[in-house]
Structure 1
Amino acid sequence: MAAAKAAAKPMTKGQLATHLAEKFGVSKKVSNEILDEIASVAVAQTKKVGQFVVPGIGKLVKAERKARKGRNPATGAEIKIPKKTVVKFRVAKAAKDAVVPPKK
């Protein structure tokens, strides 16, 4: 059996800020502020408009889940699950195809 590859850890916010700072010649503080502002604009726009597009990556979308019937696993009793607002992320086709190439 082949040895499993050690899983690479995802990039942290600090590492991303450092990368952006080096790439664009700004301070790490400025790149951190930019990341924070992008996050706050994304939240505000998703809340207000219902979606926020990150070009080339995907979009945050506010969606409604319908009310439905469920079952209590402990007692087996039927319960009503109320409708709920959720946030979903839809990956852009270009990003998806770059990460997982489509089958031919």
Structure 2
Amino acid sequence: MNKTELIDHIAQQADISKAAAGRALDAVIGGVKGTLKKGGSVTLVGFGTFAVGKRTARTGRNPRTGDAIKIKAAKVPKFRPGKALKDALN
């Protein structure tokens, strides 16, 4: 499912226009991004938790030349599914 299909599904299930569903989806995504940028986490009970993880700096290899390169430390988004989501899949 891509974003357009998700907007169609939201519009149909909530009985709202596709434009309103698109704005609602963009607002949710924007809220999650904003919270993660501040270092917080977003918990949707029954669905899961979005959080920020930290990846430490490390040494890697350039596959083309074989030279050692330094890979910077980075913050990465992480998602932990909730129990209800796990149960729905099994």
Letter in 2 for 1:28: K
Shift of 1:59: 1.8
Q: Give 1:54 shift.
A: 2.9
Residue number in structure 1 paired with 2:21: 31
SS at match of 1:98: helix
2:71 is equivalent to residue 81 of structure 1: yes
CA distance in 1, matches of 2:70, 2:26: 39
Amino acid at match of 2:40: G
- Which structure has more RCO (C-alpha within 8 Å, separation ≥ 6)? 2
Q: Which residue number in structure 2 is paired with residue 53 of structure 1?
A: 43
Q: Which has the larger radius of gyration?
A: 1
Counterpart Cα distance in 1 of 2:15 and 2:22: 13
Matched, 1:21 2:44: no
Equivalenced residue count is 90
- Gaps spanning 5+ residues in structure 2: where? none
Cα separation, partners in 2 of 1:20 and 1:76, compared to 1, 3 Å: closer
Aligned with 2:12: secondary structure?
helix
- In the alignment, structure 1 segments of 5+ residues that lack a partner are 1-10
Which residue of the other structure, out of 37, 53, 61, is the alignment partner of 1:63?
53
2-structure distance, mates of 1:96, 1:39: 22
* Distance (Å, rounded) in 2 between the aligned partners of 1:52 and 1:78: 37
Q: CA RMSD in A?
A: 2.1
Identity among equivalent positions (%) equals: 39
